Amino acid sequence: MSWENNVRKVVPYTPGEQPKVKDIVKLNTNENPYPPSPRVAEALKSLDVNRMRLYPDPKIEDLVHAIATVYGRKDEEVFVGIGSDDVLAMLFMTFFNSNKPILFPDITYSFYDVWAEMLRIPYVTQPLDENFHIRVQDYKKENGGIVFPNPNAPTGSVLAQEAIEEIVKANPDSIVIVDEAYVDFGAESALPLIDKYDNVIVTQTFSKSRSMAGLRVGYAFAAPKTIKYLNDVKYSFNSYTMNYPGIVLGTAEVYDTENFRKNCAKIMDTRAKAAVRFREMGFTLEDSFSNFLFVTHEKVPAKKIFDYLRENHIFVRWFNKPRIDRYLRVTIGTDEEMEKLFAALTKLLETEA
């Protein structure tokens, strides 16, 4: 016997690399290339060091209220956590407690199976179709809960709102989580569904469209009853999740909808141009509704491209996983960053293709 027999053994989630070297083109973790609202810089100056003696507001009321106001919801319909990873982990813990398996796509955000394993939640993955789209009928079988991103990651494709509602409606005995980490880049939000169904939860984040991955703010919308259950678990786990600077800076950001809409528009414009360039170079890709493109080259293996780009200080994401190991996920950067990427790809393809 050893104490090690009693360790909760997990295979941890592998986040994308955060390289220390300067002068790289970083297109590997779906961060936003543009800064957050100038109001955040102002709010930073207003922070009171002496305020740090005190615990922060456990209810995160200012930020909850700001999000509720901006999205036209009630405060009781909003939950805030430390990035949507924290929100999602809390949701798994709160709502996925049946003996039946939870369902999520086989190709999706690679944290879902990690949380399920970690929390000992049974799960069965549902294969995407050959074009990497969710099949609604797969989510009409017995289950202990459902989670999928919309747009999906790492594919960038969307499920129509009618299809989402069909899934929610078909599962009144389960919680359905729609992970909208990338929704602001051209997809439609399932948020209105919370008025009709208390079993649907919509999560979003400041990490992508709002340029604040480093601050760690994520949130969920659901019916007040559903949010209440979630808060009960949160307060039983860790009541002071978000620190005082996080609350102040997040609140400053959320009210500036103009800045973030402008940044999203720029990213969508760069994405459209990048998609054309990729196709001209012999890549295949589906339309993306997120801040990344999921591309595969007809001749050159993805790993080879990944390695070559990395040597040239351009970081993209390659997943060594079944079905998707021929693909690269490329975050949309600034136009200048994309130019550097395409220049490097042109060089490589001259020798390879």
Helix (H, G, I), strand (E, B) or coil at 234: helix
Closest residue by beta carbon to ligand PMP: 83
Helix (H, G, I), strand (E, B) or coil at 306: helix
Nearer to ligand PMP, 320 or 346 (CB): 320
Q: What is the side-by-side order of every strand in the sheet holding 102-105?
A: 78-81, 218-221, 200-205, 176-179, 145-149, 102-105, 123-126
CA of residue 331 relative to chain centroid, distance: 13
Return residues touching ligand PMP (CB under 6 A): 83-85, 109, 149, 153, 179, 181, 205, 207, 213, 218
Nearer to ligand PMP, 163 or 281 (CB): 163
CB environment 114-148: b (16+ within 10 A), e (fewer):
bbbebeebebebbebeeebbbeeebbeeebbbbbb
**Backbone phi, psi, residue 81, to 5°:** -140, -175
Nearer to ligand PMP, 83 or 250 (CB): 83
Nearer to ligand PMP, 29 or 37 (CB): 29
Pairing of strands 317-318, 102-105: unpaired
Q: Report, in Å, the least distance between residue 91 CB and ligand PMP.
A: 11
Which residue in the block uniquely carries the two structure tokens 């594919």? 155
Nearer to ligand PMP, 207 or 270 (CB): 207
Nearer to ligand PMP, 29 or 226 (CB): 29
Provide the residue type at 175 as one letter.
I
Q: Report, in Å, the least distance between residue 149 CB and ligand PMP.
A: 4
Nearer to ligand PMP, 138 or 179 (CB): 179
Q: Report, in Å, the least distance between residue 282 CB and ligand PMP.
A: 27
DSSP-derived secondary structure letter, 110: T
Please state, in angstroms and rounded to a whole number, the distance separating the CA atoms of residues 176 and 30.
Answer: 24
Contact 89, 179 (CB under 8 A): no
Q: Report, in Å, the least distance between residue 218 CB and ligand PMP.
A: 4
Nearer to ligand PMP, 207 or 288 (CB): 207
Helix (H, G, I), strand (E, B) or coil at 190: coil
Q: Which residues pair with 328 in a beta bridge?
A: 295, 318
Which residues, in sequence order, are CB contacts of 256 under 8 Å at separation 6+?
A: 37, 38, 39
Q: Report, in Å, the least distance between residue 31 CB and ligand PMP.
A: 9
Please state, in angstroms and rounded to a whole number, the distance separating the CA atoms of residues 66 and 312.
Answer: 42
